Amino acid sequence: MNGKSIEETMKLQTIKYQTTQKCIQFVSDLGFMMYEPAYFESYDRFVLSHQRVNKESMVKLINPSKEVLLLRPDVTTSIASNIVPLLNDKDELKLFYYATMFRQTESKITGRKQFGIEWFNAKEDEAEKDVLRLILDLFKSFEMPFILEIGSEAFLKTLFDQLSLTKQESELLKEMIAYKDEDRLKAWVKTKSFSQEYRDLLNTLFRLQGTPAKLKQRLHESSLPKPLNDSALELLNILSAFTEKEIRFDLSMISEFEYYTGLRFKVYLENYPKTVLKGGRYLAVNPYGDEARSAIGFSMDTDAVIKELVKRG
Amino acid sequence: MDEFLTIALPKGRLGKVAYERFKQAGMLVSFEKDSRRLVFIDSKNNMRFLFVKPVDVITYVTNKVADIGIVGKDQIIEEQAAIYELMDLAFGKCRFAIAGFEGTPILRQNGVLRIATKYPVITRNYFKQKNQNIEIIPLSGSVELAPLVGLSDCIVDIVETGKTLKENGLNVLEEMFEVSARLISNRVSYRFKNQEILSLVERLNQSKESSYEDD
């Protein structure tokens, strides 16, 4: 019993069904094909290739051969290990999924529905624009205020390369950027012997965000160091294809994951406290082998979107 | 969009300094310092203030009940919350330290160090860097008692004056790092109320600079 009446329960089920169908329709119209990720992963193989993952939060089972399995900890591993080895580096493949990921907390097992796409060997720029258009159209159809935030992993990777940091310095800088901790960053920059143009950039890094018009203005007013200017221009080129008021850029958007290589994006709903969609251009690597393919994709927290749609009524 | 920028202020010592800083920056002007109200609307600045327990500030911000909050850096590290840390307010400064009886070894090659603390995450991360095996004894207060009664070998805690340690015969064995009050923001609010939040940061920065001049 969850305290809901039959009307409320059925209304929730209807919104769930309609939202799922809408997502599937949007991506099917663009040629994405359904992929059903595996339910189980081998615990040993998964842990070996995901060393930073919190093992305690995984749901474990034992099969009749006494092998320990994980109940679908993520979707990426299943897709990357089953699809990437089959692809050459030219053929495009567009997949979508709608699946439940499982987590173990202290007291219970929880399942979280995710909807997402993976577009392998997608042509750079063109695919980026298509995916951003898809996200914008999908979220506009929900008729709730949202913001699509766009960053560039290439910009940050170039910045880190140019600064020639040690691994420890690099981790520290990533942390300061992730928290937008300007005071700490400025204090740290003072202790380093970076060139003046990089000092200036780091001291104003968190101002490099806002509307696409602001990025254009910023690049027009004063140039960034050349390699970074090129990365920012690439981002501006993509952003210039859109006029939507919901778009913001953020050049200090940083990921905890190493696999992103280019454009990154997140969607926020006005009344939901967390990101409801995230994704970007990345290198899809078979976690159990050596094969790798460039791809662009996103995953959406459909439970969060449905929750907001239900609240809206 | 909610017309107000909602700010969670901690009650207690940190809150008193925060209140003065906001007042200095032209906010909370008509709020009476010793009021027991939990919510205050500053309509002139389009702000709503929530007065909450210091340990709950992060919860209010991560759940977006508050857009902004003031909280000690210790809480931010301990809770590892996905927030933005927009400003070091440079007050509420204190040190994290390992404390215990004079001469207690804190690095034991093959041994396990038993540590009582209110900060298990900070403690675990700190000793991980030192490759020291530890057993954490989580306590919610009066951690100084633990070594006195043999519950732990030492403690990890915030030290302000060191008076409580001294009165219980304990010493600082190793300084860890300094913490202070921070202005934090919910990441979604940062996007939807970007202008309002950056303007608040600017106003507090100006008042911080003028308070330095006053010093």
Question: What is this model's ipTM?
Answer: 0.89
Helices (H), A54-125: 76-83
Read off the DSSP letter of residue B106. Answer: S
User: Using one digit for the tens of pLDDT, what is the confidence trace for A38-76?
Assistant: 899 889 888 887 776 778 889 999 999 999 999 998 888
Q: What's the pLDDT at B1?
A: 64
Q: For an interface test with B, which of A147, A180, A278 has the most B Cβ atoms less than 10 Å from its Cβ?
A: A180
Query: Are the beta carbons of B46 and B196 closer than 8 angstroms?
Result: yes
Query: Are the beta carbons of A299 and A307 closer than 8 angstroms?
Result: no
β-pair partners for A298: A117, A279
Q: Are the beta carbons of A273 and B85 separated by less than 8 Å?
A: no
CA–CA dist A91, A210 (Å, integer): 36
Sorted by sequence, the CB contacts under 8 Å of residue A160 that are 6+ apart come out as: A170, A173
Query: Are the beta carbons of B51 and B15 closer than 8 angstroms?
Result: yes
The tokens 């170039």 sit on which residue? A158
Which whole number is the average pLDDT over A94-104? 94
Q: What's the pLDDT at A106?
A: 79
What band does A281 get if pLDDT is binned at 50, 70 and 90? Answer: very high
**Which tokens in the block code for residue A72?**
């679908």
CATH class for the domain made up of B5-92+180-214: alpha beta
* 3-state SS, residue B14: helix
Which whole number is the average pLDDT over B8-36? 86
Looking at the predicted structure, is the pLDDT value of residue A165 above 90?
A: yes
User: Using one digit for the tens of pLDDT, what is the confidence trace for B100-137?
Assistant: 999 999 888 778 999 999 999 999 999 988 889 999 99
B75 touches chain A (CB under 8 A): no
* 3-state SS, residue B85: strand
Q: What's the pLDDT at A224?
A: 86
Distance from the B18 Cα atom to the nearest Cα atom in chain A, whole angstroms: 18
* 3-state SS, residue A3: coil
Query: How do the domains of chain B map onto residue ranges?
Result: 5-92+180-214, 94-178
Query: Are the beta carbons of A111 and A100 closer than 8 angstroms?
Result: yes
Nearest CB neighbour to B188, from listed A182, A210, A268: A268
CB contacts, 8 Å: A149 with chain B: 191
What band does A256 get if pLDDT is binned at 50, 70 and 90? Answer: confident
CB contacts, 8 Å: A273 with chain B: 62-64, 186, 188
CATH class for the domain made up of B94-178: alpha beta
B212 touches chain A (CB under 8 A): no
CA–CA dist A212, A238 (Å, integer): 10
CB contacts, 8 Å: A180 with chain B: 84-86, 190
Distance from the A259 Cα atom to the nearest Cα atom in chain B, whole angstroms: 20
Distance from the A196 Cα atom to the nearest Cα atom in chain B, whole angstroms: 24
User: Using one digit for the tens of pLDDT, what is the confidence trace for A3-36?
Assistant: 788 988 898 899 999 999 999 999 999 999 999 9
β-pair partners for A198: none
The tokens 């092998």 sit on which residue? A67
Identify the contact set of chain A against chain B, taking CB-CB distances under 8 A: 145, 147, 149, 179-184, 209-210, 248, 268-275
User: Using one digit for the tens of pLDDT, what is the confidence trace for A105-133?
Assistant: 878 999 988 999 999 999 989 999 999 99
Query: Are the beta carbons of B8 and B60 closer than 8 angstroms?
Result: yes
- Residue B34 zone, left/alpha/beta (φ > 0; ψ -120 to 50; rest): alpha
Sorted by sequence, the CB contacts under 8 Å of residue A14 that are 6+ apart come out as: none
Query: What percent of chain A has pLDDT above 70?
Result: 99
What band does B213 get if pLDDT is binned at 50, 70 and 90? Answer: low
Strands B5-10 and B47-52: parallel
CB contacts, 8 Å: A147 with chain B: 191-192
CA–CA dist A161, A283 (Å, integer): 18
Helices (H), chain A: 6-29, 43-49, 76-83, 126-142, 153-163, 167-178, 182-190, 196-203, 212-221, 226-239, 302-312
**Which tokens in the block code for residue B53?**
């327990």
CA–CA dist A141, A161 (Å, integer): 40
Mean pLDDT of chain A: 91
If you measure CA to CA, which chain A residue comes closest to B66? A273
Q: Do B5-92+180-214 and B94-178 show the same overall fold?
A: yes
Which whole number is the average pLDDT over B77-105? 92
Chains A–B, number of C-beta pairs less than 8 Å apart: 45
Looking at the predicted structure, is the pLDDT value of residue A216 above 70?
A: yes
Q: What's the pLDDT at A99?
A: 93
The tokens 């692809």 sit on which residue? A87
* 3-state SS, residue B90: coil
B63 touches chain A (CB under 8 A): yes
User: Using one digit for the tens of pLDDT, what is the confidence trace for B173-211?
Assistant: 999 999 999 999 999 999 999 999 999 999 998 877 666
| Least confident stretch, A285-294, B147-156, B184-193 | A285-294
β-pair partners for B171: B100
Q: What's the pLDDT at A2?
A: 67
Q: What's the pLDDT at A178?
A: 94
